[in-house]
Structure 1
Amino acid sequence: MKFKKNIDSLCVDNLKINALAAITKAKSGHPGIAIDAATILHTLFCYHLKYDPKHPLWVNRDRFILSSGHGSALLYAMLRMLGLISRSDLEKFRSYKSNTPGHPEYGLTPGIEASTGPLGQGIAMAVGMALAESQVNKRFPEFSHYTYVLCGDGDLQEGVAQEALSFAGTNKLNKLIVLYDSNDVQLDSFVKSVNLESPKEKYKAMGFKYILVNENSVKKINKAINKAKYSNIPVFIEIKTIIGEGTKKENSNLIHGQPLTNEEISDLKDILTFKKSDNFEYLDDVKNYYIKNIYAKNGVAYNLWNPSKKLMNFLNNELKINLNDINLNKNDSTRNTTGFVLNNLGNQYENIIAGSADLSSSTKIKGVNGVYAPNNRLGRNILYGVREFAMGAIANGIALHSNFRPIVSTFLTFSNYLIPAIRLAAQMRLKTLFIFSHDSVYAGQDGPTHQPIEQLASLRAMPNLTVLRPADENEVKGAIEYYFNKATNPVVIATTRQNIVSTNVTNKLKFEDGAYYIYHGKNPWTLIATGSELNTFYNIGKKLNISVISASNTNNLESLNYNINKAISFEAASTFGWAKYAKYNIGIDEFGISATEKDIIKHFNLDEISLQKKVEEIIKRN
């Protein structure tokens, strides 16, 4: 079949007009990137991306992440051309219950590798995918792919992107290729008004190979990507584009997020090769060209791929675990217990990757097989450095990649640095495990900056996130079994710095299902506690003959048969959120102090004698 000499221009223009039509119909969206990045997307998908549209979940496919998630209309236009969504889907862009929402959503639209929109995180998730690929490739050479990410100025101004790119450069993730849509304009201003950095000098210093494409053409972009594939370090390709090129608003921030009118699209078509009156049309010449260059080529690649049985076993291992036979110390800190169990599991299962933000000696969470590095791709102990946000987002990329179980850790108070990554993990329902140690004011002399108060309440408020705060070694077993065997969402496990007192009445199986009774008393009142505070309330409950509930896993707490109006909760943190479980709440609604654990307990009256008096006073008043 012969194709027109200007076939590339026709493909690019078809993409542009289809994307603009969707935006204009929705009266909402971002036409600037739809125009200037169309050439990038066409070049990548048509000539480089190993991606079989007939098998969109093929595990050996190249990954493409649209970090600039506001450019979703352009990606949807491409997915329509690949047959992954329909014309009708494109026409329903940003409408109620469509599978073409305003920003890409993982699990909703075929062909979307990650939920993006919060700028910078797409870059970090791409880094995670590249890391995961390097691990699998080292074990199984037949598994090999590139990870591409398209980003803009906004992505690169976010700290999470810089953290992640620094990590990628340090670890020489050579199959990571960053495509930078460099148009010198952002929403409120020209880029030079807020950022005077030199991308070339900056990213070379970070350990990237830098390539400048000074013309937004298929030929130049194609040449740059070909060169990037042979690099032994990650590659940063800066592609100079003109935002809104060809419109009256080109090279201005007005085109960033302001839909074009049908008349403006018609004016643009005067200088494009796409001339059809129907702006949603998929031209036959473009369709046939894509069938040849995308469908046929990648269909052959899919059919020729011959994975080993060992690789398929690795990819299909469900990691169902049983901790009945593991012996754990009593009265030990739950950080120690959790670290011991996970290290043991890491030695059994190659799918477990763990690491911390420079705190493994404190959180006790680290992977096995040595430190992951350019000369040790099999190392599963990830040194994320002091990059908490990127750590969370990179872990999400690892979770998205295939069959890894990424585990990351820092102090609970620093979970604030990871909240946006945890939020995306929850939205995508990823099996990422976040372990936050030093889970209360009992952390002691590091002071209020290191003592969590509001963090548990904040995390519990997030949809699709399970927050577990095990009280002792039995509940630690339950928390870890829950994550591996039952979780369908990300999980947080909060652990203690200080040694706890084992209650000997906790139950890992009951814990996995949620809150449960550890003591039944005849008094009509009920005591509810979590984590290290559970033993104190257990002792008080026995003395006063009051039932005690472990809410270390709050699931099902509301369904337990107790009178909320005669219930008292206790957690050494904010009381916010506990009112729906108990009418009376004991906690700490102020920041902590720098002191020893003993002095902190005395200062806040959290000793058993003081707490028993509070309980008796509440009951007496009522």
Structure 2
Amino acid sequence: MSNIDIKSVNTIRTLSADGIEKAKSGHPGLPLGSAPIAYELFAHHMKHNPKNPGWKNRDRFILSAGHGSMLLYSLFHLFGYGDLSLEDLKSFRQLDSKTPGHPEYGHTIGVEATTGPLGAGMGMAVGMAMAEAHMESVFNKDGFDIVDHYTYVLGGDGCMMEGISSEAFSLAGTLGLSKLIVFYDSNGISIEGSTDIAFTENVVDRMKAFGFQTIEVEDGNDTAAIGKAIEEAKADKSRPSFIKINTIIGYGAGKKQGTAGVHGEPLGSEALAALKTGFGFDPEKSFDVDVDVYENFKAINEKNAKLEEEWNERFKEYASKYPQEAKDWDNYHSEINTALIDNEEFWSWDDAPAATRNISGSIINRLKDIFPNLVGGSADLSPSNKTEMKSVGYMSKDDFSGRNIHFGVREFAMTAITNGIVLHGGLRAYCATFFVFSDYTKPMARLSALMNIPTIFVFTHDSIGVGEDGPTHEPIEQLAMLRSLPNFNTFRPADARETIAAWYAAMSSKSTPTAIVLTRQNLPQLNGSGKKALNGGYIIKEASKNTPDMILIASGSEVSLAVDAAVELENDGISTRVVSMPCMDIFENQSKEYKEEVLPRAVRNRVAIEALSGFGWDKYTGLDGRVLSMNSFGASAPQDLLFKKFGFTKENVVSLAKEVFNQ
């Protein structure tokens, strides 16, 4: 390693330590130990252009160990990503700064994924590598490798302990994702001390078992060995690569080096001075970068800018020789065409009763012909979730052109991988499982919402209607859980047209993920349903009076029950309006005037009906209303018996409504 390389690595270290020290908060251990890995990769092996961080054929890098975010910020400053200044580094972890405590996608230019929950970045990296492989199969032609980039991810012991990484890497090995390269910062230290207290497995052997090429670098400061390992990883065209690099946590930090104390707290003045002195820096100066270091990074940028210029020239030739493919490329990367709103054929459905999961399956197969960049799959449940796109094949190690994905029974990793596919760009993606198992998807669904990306979730078997499988498979609290997420739209459609509306909303969303929650059992097609469902809540059956005596509110399979009950209430002289509420999240964003029109404050006699937890419905029923919902985990029996047992019958709804009306 040249003197300027050594100085550049140590500048990354001191900038990171200074930022954490000034914030009096942060994790210096990883940046100090892993700076040589990051520098060697970004400076000598990675294809990227900080002046155009969105270059579509750039290599991707994810810091899965997001607590080491100052490593990224120091790199981004030196490379010039988004004009991240020294002042920004000085504002680390401060309100409204560009340098939050963990990397946030869309907040800091250069960050490819929001990471913080350990292992999440590993799963998203697998998704990005899958997206790259699929795009390669679609667009690359003889002599024109328009899609040709790597996905790199760096994580530590915590990432390897979390189960999501094993789920994701098992699939990555099965698919032979040869352009996925994983760096394992192996320093043997966690917050509580040596990793030996809880983590003694042979990680390299585990990765071999998953189907990875494994490489080990004995000294994490040996950039030549790190560089050799990267090139060796690139040379393997049939397997993903796992590079274990033995590092010293908090390298250079005096007595704190190699201890748990350097993981998650500032170095303190004594250790920080020792660090700077040891690396040849003035201990009295903070955020100190010499001119020759800036010049070094500038020269690297000029080299990388030429790589993009060469790619741009190749793409011009490609577009000339393959004009249709070039047009498709632009379409893949453009925003979703919202012309579907006026496509009556898309919104059409016959009157036969049908399970909304079956309807959704038909809609997916309509969409797959309209959007060739739609990919997705299920956690080994596609026959039940109805998520298979017909006649477009499955992604496999031998052929990545398929648009269906076999995720296997891996809900946690499935969701992270789907996020990674969306983050990569060019593709829209959905994932699916039974609704009760949305619990396994929740942490990564939360990241979807936090990152403002339109990942799509298909959840079937949506209530006690699951029946004989019993309480372990009957979702109760899951709908309330998803509705509680900010920036997350949860649809529970009542019939075909509401299901079509849910898919339209999901496909046209630019920055909000969508969950579509569907029935196993058949439901009737309802008069009055349709595009109004895009408002989240709407009047599906009007009362006989301008100002109704009663409002019944329901979602999904309970809307038809509410309509039937309203007919009987009307016959008994109680003027009753029925409001379908397929998506509370979208309804809450409507104007005050619209919400007043649908749910007038003057009508306080209200009953909400939903065969799941009643949590959250009180905001619509108020002090005078009632909620018919589940207050237990259900039971094992045929669905008709369960709905009767728990009171989801016309007779019980009518009785409950009359109690409210007569109180």
| TM-score interval, smaller chain | over 0.9
State the shift of 1:471 in Å: 0.3
Shift of 1:319: 4.1
Alpha-carbon distance in structure 2 between the residues aligned to 1:321 and 1:433:
20
1:350 aligns with 2:347: no
3-state secondary structure, aligned to 2:21? helix
Using the TM superposition, give the Cα deviation of residue 65 of structure 1 relative to its aligned residue in structure 2, in angstroms.
0.2
**2:462 corresponds to which of 439, 461, 473:** 439
Superimposed CA distance per residue, residues 58-92 of structure 1 (whole angstroms, 9 cap, x where no aligned partner): 11110000000000011100000011211110000
Match of 1:328 among 329, 349, 352: 349
Q: How far apart are residue 404 of structure 1 and its match?
A: 1.2
Show the counterpart of 1:572: 611
2:360 partner amino acid: T
1:285 matched to 2:292? The reply is yes
One-letter code aligned to 1:416: D
AA partner of residue 580 (structure 1): K
Shift of 1:321: 5.2
Further displaced range: 14-23 or 509-518: 509-518
Separation in structure 2 between the aligned mates of residue 589 and residue 96 of structure 1, nearest angstrom: 41
CA–CA distance in structure 1, aligned partners of residues 206 and 16 of structure 2: 33
Does 2:3 correspond to 1:6?
yes
Q: Which runs of 5+ in 1 are unaligned?
A: none
Structure 1 segment 152-301 matched on structure 2, within 5 A = 152-216=156-220, 217-232=222-237, 233-246=239-252, 247-275=254-282, 277-293=284-300, 295-301=301-307
Give aligned pairs, total. 616
Q: Over residues 158-180 of structure 1, what are the superposed CA-to-partner deviations in whole Å (9 max), with x where a residue is unaligned?
A: 01111001110000000000011
| Per-residue Cα deviation, 1:459-486 (whole angstroms, up to 9, x for no partner) | 1011000010110001011111111224
Q: TM-score, normalised by structure 1?
A: 0.97
- How far apart in 2 are the matches of 1:279 and 1:74? 16
Per the alignment, residue 658 of structure 2 pairs with 616
Q: Which runs of 5+ in 2 are unaligned?
A: 141-145, 320-325, 570-574, 589-594
> How far apart, in 1, do the equivalents of 2:599 and 2:640 lie?
36
Q: Distance in 1 between matches of 2:504 and 2:150?
A: 34
CA distance in 1, matches of 2:364, 2:339: 11
Bigger shift: residues 267-276 or 577-586: 267-276
Residue 591 (structure 1) aligned with residue 656 (structure 2):
no
Give the one of 388, 394, 398 matched to 2:421: 398
Q: Percent identity?
A: 40
CA–CA distance in structure 1, aligned partners of residues 344 and 171 of structure 2: 38
Checking the alignment, whether the CA contact within 8 Å between 1:180 and 1:238 is kept in structure 2 is yes
What residue is the counterpart of 1:110 in the other structure? 109
Q: Distance in 2 between matches of 1:550 and 1:426?
A: 25
The reply on whether 1:21 has 2:18 as its aligned counterpart is yes
Runs of 4+ in 1 over 4 A off after TM superposition: none
Q: 1:43 to 1:274 in 2, by over 3 A?
A: farther
TM-score using structure 2 length: 0.91
- Point out the more displaced range, 8-17 or 561-570: 561-570
Match 1:510 to one of 525, 529, 532: 532
* SS state at 1:144 partner: coil
| Residues in 1 aligned to 2:2 and 2:615: alpha-carbon distance in whole angstroms | 66
SS across alignment from 1:366: coil
**CA separation of 1:174 and 1:549: change in aligned 2, threshold 3 A:** same
Moved more, 112-121 or 477-486: 477-486
Q: Distance in 2 between matches of 1:480 and 1:430?
A: 16
1:605 to 635, 647, 650: 647
**What's the secondary structure of 1:90's corresponding residue?**
helix
Give the equivalent residue in structure 2 for 1:372. 395
2:581 pairs, out of 523, 529, 551, with 551
Shift of 1:403: 2.3
Aligned pairs for 1:114-133 (under 5 A) are 114-133=113-132
Whether the 8 Å contact between 2:277 and 2:283 is mirrored in structure 1 is no
Classify the secondary structure of the residue corresponding to 1:339.
helix
Q: C-alpha displacement at 1:335, in angstroms?
A: 0.1
Question: Are the counterparts in 2 of residues 63 and 148 from structure 1 also a CA contact under 8 Å?
Answer: yes
d(CA) in 2 for partners of 1:270 and 1:153?
Answer: 29
Distance 1:54 1:488 in 2: 24
Aligned to 2:155: 151
1:527 pairs with one of 547, 552, 555:
552
> CA offset at residue 38 of structure 1?
0.6
In the alignment, the residues of structure 2 paired with residue 254 and residue 313 of structure 1 have an alpha-carbon distance, to the nearest angstrom, of: 51
Q: 1:332-377: CA deviations, max 9, x gaps?
A: 0000000111122113322101100000010101245111101111
Letter matched to residue 606 of structure 2? A
State the secondary structure of the residue aligned to 2:50.
Answer: coil
Structure 2 distance, partners of 1:168, 1:487, is 28
- Residues 402-428 of structure 1 show CA distances to partners (whole Å, capped at 9, x for unaligned) of 121111110111000010000000001
Any idea what the Cα deviations from partners look like across 1:591-618, whole Å, max 9, x if unmatched? Answer: 1100001110221121212221222222
Shift of 1:213: 0.3
Could you tell me how far apart the structure 2 residues matched to 1:10 and 1:314 are?
42
Q: Deviations over 1:156-208 (max 9, x none)?
A: 10011110011100000000000110001111121121111112211011000
Residue type matched to 1:562 in 2? P
- The secondary structure found in structure 2 opposite 1:270 is helix
In structure 1, give the amino acid aligned to 2:344.
N
Distance of 2:283 and 2:25 partners within structure 1 = 23
